[in-house]
């Protein structure tokens, strides 16, 4: 079993060259550099693309995945950037300036911004893809918004994180 997991990790690092590849609950590889987030709170987003989970994972400083839920990410022409980012700021009510809602209703409420280009985790439908942001359903984004803080790491990956999270999610009866 261990050999199979190591082979899958090696294969994923080849397939996702230039991308973030999870190595364990807290370790991530980016361009041959390993980042260990042990002892920190962080959010992992496995974008909704082939070979990934289409989920977010909230990890506490003890390395326990305590919350997870479905997401949608950038459509083909608007790929969500992979990388390890820090929360820049949060905004409870927000209207996209690049893609404003025609009805004038805020379309990015509960935003947790992580790039200077306006990428954020925010309230949105998990039934349709975004313009590059991460959509999280209304009930779950409120919990994550309250927990997240400026400086907290957000890991965006195109690889699956579920093999590392499954054990914790089963403990909390999260599916």
Question: Cα 157 to chain center, whole Å?
Answer: 7
| Distance in angstroms (rounded) separating the CA atoms of residues 126 and 133 | 12
| Distance in angstroms (rounded) separating the CA atoms of residues 85 and 62 | 20
Domains and CATH numbers, the chain: 2-171 (2.40.440.10)
| Distance in angstroms (rounded) separating the CA atoms of residues 40 and 161 | 17
pTM of the predicted structure, to 2 decimals: 0.84
Phi, psi values for residue 77, rounded to 5°: -80, -5
- CB–CB of 22/63 below 8 Å? no
Give CA angle at 27 (65, 142), nearest 5°.
35
Question: Along the 175 residues of the chain, how does pLDDT read in single tens digits?
Answer: 544 444 444 444 334 446 899 999 999 999 889 999 999 999 999 998 877 899 999 999 999 999 999 998 876 777 888 999 999 999 987 656 655 566 655 567 899 999 988 899 999 888 887 777 899 999 899 999 999 999 999 999 999 999 999 999 998 887 6
């Amino acid at each position: 079993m261990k050999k199979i997991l190591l082979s899958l990790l090696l294969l994923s690092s080849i397939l996702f060259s230039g991308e973030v590849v999870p190595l364990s609950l807290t370790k991530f590889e980016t361009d041959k550099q390993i980042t260990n987030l042990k002892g920190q709170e962080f959010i992992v987003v496995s974008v909704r693309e082939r070979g990934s989970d289409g989920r977010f994972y909230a990890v506490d400083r003890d390395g326990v995945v305590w919350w997870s839920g479905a997401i949608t990410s950038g459509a083909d022409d608007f790929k969500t950037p992979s990388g390890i980012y820090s929360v820049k700021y949060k905004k409870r009510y927000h209207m996209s300036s690049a893609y404003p809602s025609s009805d004038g209703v805020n379309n990015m409420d509960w935003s947790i911004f992580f790039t200077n280009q306006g990428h954020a985790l925010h309230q949105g439908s998990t039934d349709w893809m975004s313009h590059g942001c991460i959509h999280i359903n209304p009930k779950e984004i409120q919990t994550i918004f309250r927990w997240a803080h400026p400086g907290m790491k957000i890991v965006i990956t195109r690889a699956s994180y579920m093999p590392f999270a499954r054990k914790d999610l089963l403990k909390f009866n999260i599916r």
